[in-house]
Structure 1
Amino acid sequence: MTTSPFVRAPDHFTLSLDHHVEGLVTAPFESNWGTTDELLCKFEGILIGKSTDDEPLVISLAPTLDKRRTYAWPSGPAFLAATLALLAASHGWSLHCERDSDQAVPHQVTDMRSLESLMAQVVDVCCSGVGVVPTFVANAFSGTNS
């Protein structure tokens, strides 16, 4: 789809990866006017976000991107599934979501089940425009592949 499904976004919603993950592709956005300097990140063909740094790779996640752009926007559920699959495929990551930057200390998430629930809540609020985006941070959990 060329229209963003996201009607709201957290002030800060980024994913940092400390290594390359198979299936993650970073490539310039091809607009109607040619190649841009925006480096879009897709995991298994689904838009995850836009790269802001290379080492480590920092990705501004899709709900925070410019909604006027004609990206190949994923549906909310497709974005959620691809993002969670990317986390599962990676062993070194940090995810940061803040409703209002610098207004509250982010809650530290310590398990994947809680993270999946919070991510589903973020995507639901971003797509529906209803509710409150949770503020949290999470890092790769020990004892799992993610």
Structure 2
Amino acid sequence: MKKLAPFLNSPDVFHLAVPAQSNLLTYSLFESAWGVTDEMLCHFKGILLGEKVRVAGWENYLGGPTHWIQLLPKLDRYRDFDWPTLDSYKGALLSYFQEESTWAIWCERDCDQIGIEKIYNDFFRAECLVDAALAYCVGGNLECPTFIAQQGPA
């Protein structure tokens, strides 16, 4: 039986920046029913986090080679990805944040419409904002926060 995406909404921007040399993440091309695609999927401990994308001009955002992951709520919810449950997804994101020393997560409900809250090295605040963003994505919250939370060098 095909798993369905738990996400109904998505912010305009929902990306995770990670060090390119991180050995905590694995990447693999998506294999659809029609063959291998060019979608490079990113996993943490077997949980699908999103798709690796290019963000022009931001290749060194974290002070060195940086990979950008478009998080699951931004992906096509009708694709036959190995969709995790909301709880396992949130758990994987937060576990990654605790295990990796440098990362950034960027969420904007409507690009360039309101100011972006910037959080540095405050895991608790980042966790609260990610929780609110994911609640919005599954339809349980009417408001989506706009923020950039970063851990590590600013």
Same fold (TM > 0.5):
yes
Query: What residue in structure 2 maps to residue 14 of structure 1?
Result: 15
- Please say if residues 119 and 147 of structure 2, whose CA atoms lie closer than 8 Å, have aligned partners that are also in contact: yes
Question: How many angstroms apart in 1 are the aligned matches of 2:124 and 2:23?
Answer: 23
- Please say if residues 7 and 129 of structure 1, whose CA atoms lie closer than 8 Å, have aligned partners that are also in contact: no
Displacement after TM superposition at 1:83 (Å): 0.8
Consecutive unaligned residues of structure 1, counting only runs of 5 or more, are: none
Query: What residue in structure 1 maps to residue 110 of structure 2?
Result: 100
Displacement after TM superposition at 1:61 (Å): 0.4
Displacement after TM superposition at 1:15 (Å): 0.6
1:79 counterpart = 2:80? no
Displacement after TM superposition at 1:129 (Å): 5.0
1:137 counterpart = 2:137? no
SS of structure 1 residue aligned to 2:27: strand
Question: How many angstroms apart in 2 are the aligned matches of 1:17 and 1:88?
Answer: 13
- Please say if residues 24 and 100 of structure 2, whose CA atoms lie closer than 8 Å, have aligned partners that are also in contact: no
- Could you say what the CA RMSD is over the residues aligned between the two structures, in angstroms? 1.6
Question: How many angstroms apart in 2 are the aligned matches of 1:33 and 1:83?
Answer: 30
1:124 counterpart = 2:125? no
- Please say if residues 50 and 69 of structure 2, whose CA atoms lie closer than 8 Å, have aligned partners that are also in contact: yes
Displacement after TM superposition at 1:141 (Å): 4.5
Displacement after TM superposition at 1:121 (Å): 1.0
1:56 counterpart = 2:53? no
Q: Identity, % of aligned pairs?
A: 34
SS of structure 2 residue aligned to 1:101: coil
- Please say if residues 95 and 138 of structure 1, whose CA atoms lie closer than 8 Å, have aligned partners that are also in contact: yes
